[in-house]
A and B are shown apart, each in its own frame.
Chain A
Amino acid sequence: MSENAETDAEETNADGAAEDTTGDGATADDAADAPEAVIDAGVGAGGGRMREFVESEILARFGDGSARVGLGALEDGSVHSVEGDIVLTTDTHVVDPPVFPGGDIGELAISGTVNDLAMMGATDPIALTCGLIVEAGTPESLVTDVLDSMAAAADRVGVEISTGDTKVMGAGEIDRIAINTTGIGRVTGEPLQAARLEAGDRIVVSGPIGEHGLAVLSAREGFDFGGDLASDVAPVNDLVRAAMAAGTVRTATDPTRGGLAMALNEFASSADAGIAVEERAIPISEAASAAGEVLGIEPLDVANEGVAVFGVAPDDADAVVDALREAGAPDATIVGEVLTDHPGRVVLDTGIGRRYLAEPTGEQLPRIC
């Protein structure tokens, strides 16, 4: 990782956080009890241990890309040559458990930022950063597995991770691992924005809703839905590219935290328009639906990490759906329409009655009683 990272790590050490851990004793005891290697505070303390970790675990995976000054130079930052409008986005990822059915926090961190760029219209990202924060005592294998996932996801997209930072926090100061990824990408044409939605536009979703959130919640609660429920975590920049090539896409979003319910409410609010949605048209797998019923959680309220929601000009909606299906999203479908009535609100037709679809309130907790 860059020198920038080493400098920051020294600061962490100087403020005492890392020293506390070193003197804690618990970390060393844990390491002695556990047969597997764990990350200890020394890795984040700068100097030789850190350089060794960065070179053997990070550089070996993320390598050197096309940047004018890239990660391998271990400078304070990377240098990129760019023309035109740039999208800049950042996201910090924490998830319990860090490895879940269908993916892990590493794939999530890359997908999340690649998808955020794509949802603005930057479907070919230029570069990402990796800010890695690890709790002392975390098994080294967890960290290297996560780094492998990040490298694989970045390879799939064809984006380089060109700078970063590593911190090791004391035991109990964070939960195992957190990753910040910042990304830049070039947007050609108009940035995609919900404010561009017009009455009559169709709402298109690219894939089944609720898989990620319900898979993670099920894993956390120890429920097994027979292996049918797995996170959909994936970069979807290729889907956005296909949709944009097929017709006029006014806006796109990845319905992460707060799920489809939050995404549609944000569309309605930004556009100051109503949105009508047919609940039964929304693709939801049987496994997600069953998990939602058991846990008392609405699939529409939980995070998706491999789905895009589009607002599309009415005449282009069918073409966009066809393009998405061809690009690897067989469940892509039209689920609703932008209205002139009910500005700022989402009206859900349940097939039996109608109600407003509200933004989810607070954290989604499984029903217990």
Chain B
Amino acid sequence: MAASTDRDLQFRDPEKAEQLSDRLEELMAEIDGRVDVMHVCGSHEQAIAKFGLRSVLPDGLSVRMGPGCPVCVTDMPEVDEAVALAEDGKIVTTYGDMLKVPGTAKSLADARDEGADVRVVYSASEAAEIAAETDEDVVFFATGFETTAAPTAAVLADDPPANFSILSAHKYVPPAMEVVAEMPDTNVDAFLAAGHAAVITGSGIFEEFVDEYEIPTVVGGFEPLDILLGLVKILEFVRDDEAGLANAYPRCVTEDGNVPAKEALWEVFETTRGEWRGIAEIPDADLALRDEYAQYDAREIFDIDAAYEDEQDPLTAKCISGDIMAGKADPDECELYGEECTPENPVGASMVSSEGTCKIWLEYGGHPDL
């Protein structure tokens, strides 16, 4: 049998990877200092860890993950709302990654074990199809960044059944980058921006951010060579002391993005203030339904009586996932990591999702000393 071809794809070419990592070495020598890069995407972290990229990065170049996992930053009270709707007899549909995310009292998986009708779907449209086949209320617990918010918007704009509604926990990335950039104790010299969010919004979305915060920002794809190329462009900006914007993922991302998807997104949603779990309360980074779509807004339709637990689980108090997502700590600095907190029994959301740093590190390792 021939070895699998997907490992021989052009964006996984070992020789080109070596050339790029040599280039990173040269640039770091020219910079002669430490560079801290934050990426804002679980898929970046996954690729970096899976392909062992940190083992070929030069000394002094640190690449770590920020608030780039939508499951991880979904706030506990948002999970509580979904649980309350499920316990109130609604059919609650959501992406599988959300099932085990702990709310303050329980997770949707807990509610399902106790008899609630919680169903995993692969898309907002699948949730709407379930609604079309029943007279019962079907709520889609809608999570994710621009990449999933745009399809949710498309479903709502397409006149879904009247018994269908969404509980929006959708979030919008650029304002969160601003918050992280402003954090006094977060040392971020540059951002590697998420390629798939930029597929929708376009690389141009970051222009204002770069101008205002003077932080080099490069849009990067998810194959090993994409990431290494993104880092090369970042180090070139850093070396030249230039707060530039570059697109290192041009085969998928354009400057304007997917205009129809973007239009649907902003026709249906508007930004609003919201809490990002473990990070901060962020103005303009949650996506709420516009008034015109209130008839599909679960928060408008139902009197959601979420059971917020005042007393926090003592283990939750020890979880440092907020610091991890703010770029201040690594997963293995957490005393719960891999011990009390595992993918089977996650304490923090970043151990639940396949996009969460803690889970990725447990699966692939973080900074191996090789």
Contact = CB atoms under 8 A, between A and B. Distances in A.
A369 B97 contact: yes
A342 B122 CA distance: 41
Contacts of A369: 70-71, 95-98, 143-144, 148, 353-355
A286 B365 contact: no
A368 to B, nearest CB: 3
A366 B1 CA distance: 26
A351 B354 CA distance: 23
Contacts of B98: 369
A353 B4 contact: no
Interface in A166-212: 208
B198 interface: no
B338 to A, nearest CB: 8
A263 B344 CA distance: 21
A281 interface: yes
Given A331-B1, A353-B55, A356-B365, A368 B96 contact: yes
B54 to A, nearest CB: 7
Contact-residue bracket for chain B: 35 or more
Contacts of B370: 342, 347, 354-356
B342 interface: yes
Nearest to B345: A362
A208 B3 CA distance: 9
B14 interface: yes
Interface in A343-369: 347-356, 358, 360-363, 365-369
SS class of chain B's interface: helix, strand, loop or mixed? helix
Nearest to B6: A289
Contacts, number: 109
B6 A293 contact: yes
B356 to A, nearest CB: 11
A286 B55 contact: no
B352 to A, nearest CB: 11
B14 A330 contact: no
B144 A350 contact: no
A354 B370 CA distance: 7
B71 A351 contact: no
Given A353-B53, A353-B55, A358 B364 contact: yes
B303 to A, nearest CB: 28
Interface in A284-319: 284-286, 288-290, 293, 296, 298
Interface of A: 208, 279-286, 288-290, 293, 296, 298, 330-331, 342, 347-356, 358, 360-363, 365-369
Per CB-CB distance, the 10 closest pairs between chain A and chain B, nearest first, are: A368-B96, A353-B52, A355-B52, A369-B95, A289-B4, A369-B97, A353-B55, A362-B344, A352-B17, A354-B55
17 contacts: A284-B3, A286-B4, A289-B4, A289-B6, A298-B363, A347-B370, A350-B52, A351-B14, A352-B12, A352-B56, A353-B17, A353-B51, A353-B55, A354-B52, A355-B49, A361-B362, A368-B122
Interface of B: 1, 3-8, 12, 14, 17, 49-56, 70-71, 95-98, 120, 122, 143-144, 148, 224, 342-344, 353-355, 359, 362-365, 368, 370
